[in-house]
Chain A
Amino acid sequence: MGSRSRLAGFVGAAALALLAAAAHAQNAPPAGTVVDGSLKGKTLTFVSYGGIYQDGQVAALKEFVDKSGVKLLNDGPTEIAKLQAQVESGNVTWDVVDTDDFPPFVHCGKLFQKLDLTKLDISHIPAGQVGECSVPAMNYGMVLMYKNDKYKDNPPKDWKDFFDTAKFPGTRAIDGSGSPIGGLIEQAILADGGKVDAMTPADIDKGIAKIKAIGPDTIFWKTGAESQQLAESGEADMIIMWTGRAMTAVKNGAAYTPVWKDWLVVMDQLTIPVGAKDTDASYALINAYLGKKSQEILTEQTSYSPINNEAQPKVDASVAAFLTNTPDHAKLGYQQNIKFWVANFATASDKWTALMAGN
């Protein structure tokens, strides 16, 4: 409720600081800056995951395209294997690539360029989100959604309850769309009574065993659309959902409620591939993307949280209810140990894949 009124307060006070900020003298031009006609005759290929997300990103980049004169091509969905093939053959056609959490860390310097941070204004990006090879593209979360009429007055309150099938019977649905969900494995370890501050690869087994112990009826959904369908048809009693999908499902009438305690922080990343044709143009695109106004447009169109802390998107209450950057949501987020999961990516993936294949 608090977030709603706060966001409603933002409505009057949108967007102007952008141009004023241009006066600042620093290495990188302030985020959102576009020099008129600077990229005339050039072409950039932007790669992301399609759907309303990429449409929103393109809308956020419209000013950049119009002013700089660049021709923006869109491609997708992002596939790291495709990028690897491009880099290995020395024919990289992608200029800026939107990826999920881990790839820029796993393949930093091999498939993704180490970023020259003097060319980007990262001063408004939320703390701790800039990697050696990536800046965030947007923030979102994975929340536990529970079915209202199943649990009535005694709903699950945290991940411990999610793993407690004795006290909270019912079908669970988990994100099985790809990479291992580090945050969920950590929560499983915690629910099992373990600790996560000094995890070892052996702990991965404990976490996975805890997830497996939920039982044979656990659903591993493969696409965001599938998770939304599970909620809208009431197939599962607790569903781990991406916030954007959770919002859409509730909008479409799914009678589910989010649990915000320790929601899992996830982000998409923006990267520049090794061997990209015109690195400076790629940097210019990313710097424009990080701007306040672009981030407001992105959030208004996609309902994902902006990664510029000055952005004040105008969204209605149903969207605001699922934004992750509102103060009362932001403080409840749980940040997975990215370093650990990147270092143990192959092991974790193999074990996660085996879990997905019923082994």
Chain B
Amino acid sequence: MSRTSHTLSAGGENARPAGTVQGPQRRLRLAAYPSLLAMPALLLLIAAMGYPLLTVTLRSFSDPAWGLQNYVWFFSTPVNVTVLWRTFSIAAWVTIVCVIAAYPYAYLMTAVGPRLRLVLILCVLVPFWVSGVVRTLAWVILLQDSGIINSVIRLLGFDGVKLIRTQTGVVIGMAQVLLPFMILPLYSVMRGIDLRLVQAARSLGARQARAFLQIYLPLSLPGVFAGAIIVFILSLGFYITPALLGGPRSTMLSTLVQSQVLSLLNWGRGGAMGVVLLVATFVLLALAAPLMRQRHKQASRS
């Protein structure tokens, strides 16, 4: 890093004597450069996200006629409200399970030697490369009533537990699919934490638990929040996993959108469902943001 910045500044110095007129021009072009770099991503986002989102929103107000009919329909149909609530509650459970599972794992990744760390990273990434559908089907085999988990439980002399076609099954499956999105941001934050701070706390007489709670945990919270937001938002849109692992009582909003648009051709209603989900997510994040910012400040202060 330091070497590149050195050569860059050297180049700048070389350019100056060549002509005083060129100086400000060149600086201007360089100033414009960062935004130009963002252009491809920005164009892609506008084409692949902005435009369709605009169309969906417009249609939710205009299909089949202008007005609020689709939103009135959404909130006056009990099943929609139940499923919307359920979608958020499943997403919250998945996030909690991911935090609990990922935190010690990410910590372990920072604590072990390079070779073991590579193994741990591979354990996270290899499932990441396998398609979500395949992993979900693997969960079907594990969770079903005649599946491996239940066979083992029965072999030990207990009654089988109902896992598949329940919300528990859906949460387990989704958490496994989404775990890398929690582990990776957590790991990148934890890697940057100076462990000497914990040692310092210990040397000043703090017990291990206290040193962790007062020093390490606050410093790692930005990673927890970053991961939690990614996992929560991705969970809201899940379709395949709840469809295969869940039953009627774990249907999520995406399934209802699918049936409105694909089998009933009610683009307006489908759009309204999408907009409601989006707005509800924004509201929730807006409510959570001040809390997170405060924690973040606290962490950086210490």
Decide if A316 is an interface residue (CB 8 Å cutoff): no
Q: Mark A318-359, 1 if CB is under 8 A from B, else 0.
A: 000000000000000000000000000110011001111111
- The chain B residue with its CB closest to the CB of A83 is B265
- Inter-chain contact A357/B251, CB cutoff 8 Å: yes
**A81 cross-chain contacts in B, Cβ below 8 A:** 261-262, 265, 267
- Inter-chain contact A354/B79, CB cutoff 8 Å: yes
- Inter-chain contact B244/A233, CB cutoff 8 Å: no
Question: Which of A217-267 touch B at CB < 8 Å?
Answer: 218-220, 222, 226, 229, 233-235
Decide if A86 is an interface residue (CB 8 Å cutoff): no
Q: In the assembled complex, how far is the CB of residue B255 from the closest CB belonging to chain A, in whole angstroms?
A: 7
Decide if B24 is an interface residue (CB 8 Å cutoff): no
Decide if B76 is an interface residue (CB 8 Å cutoff): no
Q: In the assembled complex, how far is the CB of residue B248 from the closest CB belonging to chain A, in whole angstroms?
A: 3
Q: In the assembled complex, how far is the CB of residue A180 from the closest CB belonging to chain B, in whole angstroms?
A: 9
Instruction: Identify the stretch in B119-127, B139-147, B209-217 within 8 Å (CB) of chain A at 4 or more residues.
Output: B139-147
Q: In the assembled complex, how far is the CB of residue B91 from the closest CB belonging to chain A, in whole angstroms?
A: 17
Contact of B244 among A226, A358, A359 (CB under 8 A): A226
Separation of A178 and B243 alpha carbons in the complex (Å): 12
- The chain B residue with its CB closest to the CB of A176 is B248
Q: In the assembled complex, how far is the CB of residue B263 from the closest CB belonging to chain A, in whole angstroms?
A: 6
Assuming the A-B contacts A226-B244, A233-B144, are A356 and B251 also in contact, with contact meaning beta carbons closer than 8 angstroms in the complex? yes
Separation of A168 and B157 alpha carbons in the complex (Å): 27
- The chain A residue with its CB closest to the CB of B249 is A358
Contact of A235 among B82, B144, B259 (CB under 8 A): B144
Separation of A222 and B251 alpha carbons in the complex (Å): 12
Assuming the A-B contacts A216-B249, A234-B146, are A357 and B79 also in contact, with contact meaning beta carbons closer than 8 angstroms in the complex? yes
- The chain B residue with its CB closest to the CB of A81 is B262
- Inter-chain contact A219/B79, CB cutoff 8 Å: no
Decide if A213 is an interface residue (CB 8 Å cutoff): no
Q: In the assembled complex, how far is the CB of residue A309 from the closest CB belonging to chain B, in whole angstroms?
A: 31
Separation of A155 and B263 alpha carbons in the complex (Å): 35
**A178 cross-chain contacts in B, Cβ below 8 A:** 259, 263
A contact residues, total (Cβ < 8 Å)? 28
Decide if B275 is an interface residue (CB 8 Å cutoff): no
- Inter-chain contact A349/B263, CB cutoff 8 Å: yes
- Inter-chain contact A349/B259, CB cutoff 8 Å: yes
Separation of A349 and B269 alpha carbons in the complex (Å): 14
**B261 cross-chain contacts in A, Cβ below 8 A:** 81
Decide if A45 is an interface residue (CB 8 Å cutoff): no
Interface of B is mostly: helix
Decide if A52 is an interface residue (CB 8 Å cutoff): no
Decide if B229 is an interface residue (CB 8 Å cutoff): no
**B226 cross-chain contacts in A, Cβ below 8 A:** none
Q: In the assembled complex, how far is the CB of residue B267 from the closest CB belonging to chain A, in whole angstroms?
A: 8
**A350 cross-chain contacts in B, Cβ below 8 A:** 77, 264
- Inter-chain contact A353/B78, CB cutoff 8 Å: no
Q: In the assembled complex, how far is the CB of residue B82 from the closest CB belonging to chain A, in whole angstroms?
A: 6
Decide if B83 is an interface residue (CB 8 Å cutoff): yes
Assuming the A-B contacts A233-B146, A234-B146, A235-B144, are A220 and B247 also in contact, with contact meaning beta carbons closer than 8 angstroms in the complex? yes
- The chain B residue with its CB closest to the CB of A230 is B144
Q: Mark B230-251, 1 if CB is under 8 A from A, else 0.
A: 0000000000000110011111
**B79 cross-chain contacts in A, Cβ below 8 A:** 353-354, 357, 359
Q: In the assembled complex, how far is the CB of residue B73 from the closest CB belonging to chain A, in whole angstroms?
A: 10
Separation of A222 and B83 alpha carbons in the complex (Å): 18
Separation of A79 and B147 alpha carbons in the complex (Å): 34
Separation of A346 and B73 alpha carbons in the complex (Å): 14
- Inter-chain contact B249/A235, CB cutoff 8 Å: no
- The chain B residue with its CB closest to the CB of A220 is B248
- The chain B residue with its CB closest to the CB of A84 is B265
Separation of A355 and B146 alpha carbons in the complex (Å): 26
Q: Mark B62-102, 1 if CB is under 8 A from A, else 0.
A: 00000000000000011100110000000000000000000
Question: Which of A265-314 touch B at CB < 8 Å?
Answer: none
- Inter-chain contact B82/A80, CB cutoff 8 Å: no
Contact of B243 among A179, A222, A355 (CB under 8 A): A222
Contact of B78 among A80, A233, A356, A359 (CB under 8 A): A359
- Inter-chain contact B248/A355, CB cutoff 8 Å: yes
Separation of A226 and B240 alpha carbons in the complex (Å): 13
Contact of B264 among A216, A346, A355 (CB under 8 A): A346
Separation of A219 and B164 alpha carbons in the complex (Å): 10
Q: With A345-B264, A346-B264 given, can you name 18 additional A-B contacts, CB distance below 8 Å? A: A80-B265, A81-B261, A81-B265, A81-B267, A84-B265, A178-B259, A216-B249, A218-B248, A219-B165, A219-B247, A235-B145, A354-B77, A356-B255, A357-B248, A358-B247, A358-B249, A358-B250, A358-B251
Q: Which residues of A line the B interface, CB within 8 A?
A: 79-81, 84, 107, 178-179, 216, 218-220, 222, 226, 229, 233-235, 345-346, 349-350, 353-359
User: Can you list 23 A-B contacts with CB-CB less than 8 angstroms, sorted by A residue number?
Assistant: A81-B262, A81-B265, A84-B265, A178-B263, A218-B248, A235-B145, A235-B146, A345-B264, A353-B256, A353-B260, A354-B78, A354-B79, A355-B248, A356-B248, A356-B251, A356-B255, A357-B248, A358-B247, A358-B249, A358-B250, A358-B251, A359-B79, A359-B82
9 closest A-B pairs by beta carbon, nearest first, are A358-B248, A359-B79, A358-B249, A357-B251, A354-B79, A353-B259, A81-B262, A222-B243, A233-B146
